[in-house]
Amino acid sequence: KKTRLQDTLRIGSIPADGIGKEVVPAAQLVVEAVGVPVKWISLDAGFEYFQRHGVALPQSTVDTLINSCDGALFGAVSSPSHRVEGYSSPIVALRKKLDLFANIRPVISSPHVPRSLPGINCVIVRENTECLYVKEEQLTTTASGHKVATATRRISQEASARIAKVAFDIAVQRAREFKRPGKVTIVHKANVLPITDGLFRETVLAVSKESAYKDIIVEEQLVDSCVYRTFIDPQSFDVLVAPNMYGDIISDGAAAVVGGLGLVPSANSGNNFVVAEPVHGSAPDIAGLNIANPIATIRAAGLMLQQLGHDKAARAIEAGIQESLRRGQTTKDLGGSESTHSAAEKIASHAVA
């Protein structure tokens, strides 16, 4: 994040699986169109790579990111539901290895998207390193031959405090930008999990007391009713802060009310690095058909550029997206007839400053 604007950015490109291989190139095309000097560094990861090479996230990918990249753009990873010996999600591993502790997911309405509810503008700030994602699981067999599996859910004060700060900083910045009071909604289930979610809640509340955040309204919402509220009254959210898995789940709900997963980006951010990715998955059913909606990944690239100091380019990209949406130059999922590639080209053409 310490690059100068004129420096060439070195960005890892990790398409990974399925439509990742189509939407990442589409986003690259748009980034180039807005004139940001980028050197793309192609990196391997994913389930398909695992099937060929026995490893989902090669050490060389991690090393290159750490040693030679300013940021990265990730596509999507296939999720086999059956347990595959030796396989585990490379994006989850990447978040942990690079300590990308904040998963930032802006969710906004699109006036020209049929299924989008109006007036939604919120940011989900998802803790990205712990909760059930520590993946400490065990299988035992009882005397009577029955299997019992356990998983550890871990919530630490440290991780909760740093994600809270990210959320409140975003709320402060948005309050300034939108010239209205900021609000942070703490998502938890402390009525059932008073120790773990209790710690998350208390820690976020403690951060909210810091003087820098004194104008930010704080509220809390149980995760189940948060999903409910996402459908009934999503306009009432500003910034949401959530433990890892609740954040995962509420993001998908939020994507649904703004018109679909094809639109929602995320930035996995640490103190020194950002890996941007769409919220959607690898969509094996439409992979290879050049029909996937590239917008989520293009927006992800915009988030990345913004975090790397290229605010103007990021704004140009979003303006390009808005213009394409307005003109209906969209892929099939949004009712249009563009291909992945041509949709990106249209956005690129509207995005040039």
Ligand X SMILES: CC(C)[C@H](C(=O)O)[C@@H](O)C(=O)O
Are the beta carbons of 277 and 300 closer than 8 angstroms?
yes
For residue 329, what are its two tokens? 């130059």
Assess 217 for contact with a copy of itself (CB under 8 A). Answer: no
Asked whether position 191 contacts ligand X by CB under 6 A, the answer is yes
Per the CB < 8 A criterion, the answer to whether 77 and 45 are in contact is: yes
For residue 132, state whether it binds a copy of itself (rule: CB under 8 A). yes
Contact call for residue 284 and a copy of itself (CB under 8 A): no
Distance, CA of 127 to CA of 155 (rounded, Å): 10
195 binds a copy of itself (CB under 8 A): yes
Residues touching a copy of itself, count (CB under 8 A): 64
Q: Judged by CB under 6 A, which of 84, 151, 192, 353 binds ligand X?
A: 192
146 in contact with a copy of itself (CB under 8 A): yes
Stretch that binds a copy of itself, among 121-129, 245-253, 315-323, 341-349 (CB under 8 A): 245-253
Minimum Å distance from CB 301 to ligand X? 16
Member of 69, 91, 167, 308 binding ligand X (CB under 6 A): 91
8, 68, 157, 337: which one binds a copy of itself (CB under 8 A): 157
* Contact (CB, 8 A) for 167 and 125: yes
Q: Name residue 348's amino acid.
A: A
Distance (Å, rounded) from C-alpha 113 to C-alpha 330?
9
247, 103 Cβ separation under 8 angstroms: yes
Interface pick for ligand X out of 28, 61, 64, 89 (rule CB under 6 A): 89
Q: Confirm or reject binding of residue 122 to a copy of itself (CB under 8 A).
A: no
Q: How far is CA 210 from CA 105, 169, 200, 205, 240, in A?
A: 24, 11, 16, 9, 18
Residue closest to 102 by CA, chosen among 252, 274, 280, 237: 274
Q: Is 279 in the site for ligand X (CB under 6 A)?
A: yes
CA 261 to CA 65: how far, in whole Å?
Answer: 27
Q: Which is nearer to ligand X, 47 or 213 (CB)?
A: 47
- Please report whether residue 7 would count as binding ligand X according to CB under 6 A: no
For residues 285 and 254, give the distance between their C-alpha atoms in angstroms, rounded to a whole number. Answer: 23
Binding of a copy of itself at residue 118 (CB under 8 A)? no
Dihedral class, residue 214 (left if φ above 0, else alpha if ψ from -120 to 50, else beta): alpha
Judged by the rule CB under 6 A, the positions of this chain that interact with ligand X are 77, 79, 89, 91-92, 191-192, 224, 248, 251, 279, 281
Residues in contact with a copy of itself by the rule CB under 8 A:
79-83, 88-89, 92, 115, 132-133, 135, 137-139, 146-158, 188-196, 198-199, 201, 203, 220, 222-225, 227-228, 230-232, 245, 248-253, 255-257, 260-261, 281
